[in-house]
Chain A
């Protein structure tokens, strides 16, 4: 800028100051009002939107779609347009030039004029850049696929319940519903192997949470326990392993008390004399706890799946005989009461007792029997109807 232009600017600026206002209180008042408004906005955001909970970092879960803060999104989106071979142009050259240009703006822009109509070139360049950034941000938000929702169990209660589910699916077949162990039966490759209890004091008092998590993640592969952690070829993410360990600790360790509501949520409801059980309330939970570990796809189980109501009624090599309404000779009832089923022609044993290791508690067997006798109702409502019919008769 030339000396006379500087003088001219200073003169005009002094004039503007003379025609202006006092910093205190005129300007401060606006500033405070603005800041106060933003503060209210922030309190609103924190209260009503909050901070969305995220699952814990899990280096083994490489399926996670990276999502940077929104103000970096435009950069990530921009990089997608740069071919891989010259990636560094997008990640290094252009950003560095842009930053330098931003710093040096007052020296690059030699135009002494300030009113926007007198600086149309500069204003347009900046306008295009800003619109480009906004456009790229929007594009990024639209094109990034939604992250698959993983259940996040934050409270101990939620973790115990989630852990129980995992234990039922992944562990019961070998370790039994209560971690009691014993001789394995009905599991390919481990028939007859005797397992120690993993719910004993010995186990709970000498294995820390970290140790248990490592055992579950890596397995004990030489002894026949498969790995469960994603990092070792299993299916469970870090947060899920932690939920599983929390479940084990709170249910089996007699030094910690299980929170009451968690205990209630995982309890299998009992039935009163004459009450008809339903799939929804009773059978699904018993099956989950005692059977699903073997009776899910990919296991040796005569193709008998127990994941849903339909599956229980209609699958299995002996589907015709497994569940017969009102008939206690149904194969399922026979085997859960400890009787093996033999092929009527060859006389060979085709189904052993269920669960193969140890029969369920008497009360659960009773629930199954009452369910079959009453025609296997699915919902609690149907079961209630049957109950009241039974009582009026």
Chain B
């Protein structure tokens, strides 16, 4: 019975082919440093899940953002855990992605034929940093308000177009409800869309090219 359901599905979905190319493939012997890419992926997924749960109660307006976070922490069952995971997960993700970059660098894994994988990786790193920067403002507390004030000020010092960038980021001359709503939409729509598309490319390349081997002394 299960056998016939499986073959019915396999005939239409190509499950065996997926199994053969993705799971049942030979890879060189590697060490624990090679787990950091998938660890970043796991943390990214966890951020996605906890983020969606937070968005159920979070309200992106200056009047209510702070109170909605307070409510998540004190009033929602396990709200503290969800927010705690999202808060610490963000830091850990940056850390794992960065160490992943260092291991790729150390083993020269960015060289032929994996240049493009490196390229998408850099986009992912800045995507993660962008998520960190925009997410930091959302609780609308003193820390977030002043960090964002200074952060956007820095963008304002760019020659010629600095003032323009500052206005686009803040949606005006000062931090306001417009800024919060811009950062919120960057944080939940724009950055995630870019990151998801890039992660898919990244993983496709990793599977297509195979994971690199640990270089020996004469390579």
Contacts and interface: CB of A to CB of B under 8 A. Distances in A.
A389 B87 CA distance: 59
Contact of B158 (A18, A31, A92): A92
A38 B32 contact: no
Interface string A1-30: 100011001001100111111111011101
Nearest to B21: A23
B146 interface: yes
A97 interface: no
A17 B28 contact: yes
Contacts of B88: 42, 45-46, 49
Contacts, number: 221
A282 to B, nearest CB: 33
A21 B73 contact: no
A331 B159 CA distance: 70
B118 A35 contact: no
A76 B38 CA distance: 31
A382 to B, nearest CB: 40
Contacts of B91: 69-71
Contact of B142 (A16, A54, A88): A54
A67 B84 contact: no
Interface in B23-53: 23-30, 32, 34-36, 38-39, 42-43, 46
B139 interface: yes
Interface residues of A, number: 77
Interface string B105-126: 1111111111100110010001
A154 interface: yes
A22 B27 contact: yes
A50 B155 CA distance: 31
Contact of A13 (B122, B129, B210): B210
Contact of B132 (A34, A71, A130): A71
Interface residues of B, number: 84
Nearest to A210: B63
A16 B211 CA distance: 11
B151 A68 contact: yes
Contacts of B105: 105, 126
A16 B28 contact: yes
Nearest 10 CB-CB pairings of A with B: A46-B84, A114-B108, A57-B145, A16-B213, A54-B141, A106-B115, A114-B215, A24-B23, A35-B42, A34-B35
B191 interface: no
Given A17-B27, A35-B39, A57-B141, A91 B158 contact: yes
A103 interface: yes
Contacts of A130: 102
Contact of B145 (A59, A88, A106, A116): A59
B87 to A, nearest CB: 5
A79 interface: yes
A135 interface: no
B81 A47 contact: yes
Interface of B: 22-30, 32, 34-36, 38-39, 42-43, 46, 62, 66, 70, 73-74, 80-81, 83-85, 87-89, 91-92, 94, 96, 102, 105-115, 118-119, 122, 126, 129, 132-133, 136, 139-147, 149-151, 154-155, 157-159, 162, 174-175, 210-213, 215-219
Interface string A113-146: 1111111000100100010000000000000000
Given A28-B23, A42-B89, A57-B145, 17 more contacts: A6-B112, A13-B212, A17-B28, A20-B26, A30-B32, A31-B38, A31-B39, A34-B35, A35-B42, A38-B42, A46-B84, A47-B81, A51-B73, A56-B66, A59-B175, A113-B219, A116-B215
B213 A13 contact: yes
Contacts of A119: 108
Contacts of A13: 28, 210, 212-213
A91 B154 contact: yes
A114 to B, nearest CB: 3
A113 B119 contact: no
Q: Which of A12, A34, A61, A68 has the most CB of B within 10 A?
A: A68
A57 B142 contact: yes
A43 B85 contact: yes
Given A34-B39, A59-B145, A71-B129, A114 B70 contact: no
A66 B149 contact: yes
A58 interface: yes
A213 to B, nearest CB: 11
Given A16-B213, A71-B132, A130-B102, A106 B110 contact: yes
Given A12-B219, A114-B107, A56 B140 contact: yes
Contact of A103 (B25, B122, B151): B122
A1 B175 CA distance: 50
Contacts of B112: 1, 5-6, 9, 106, 112
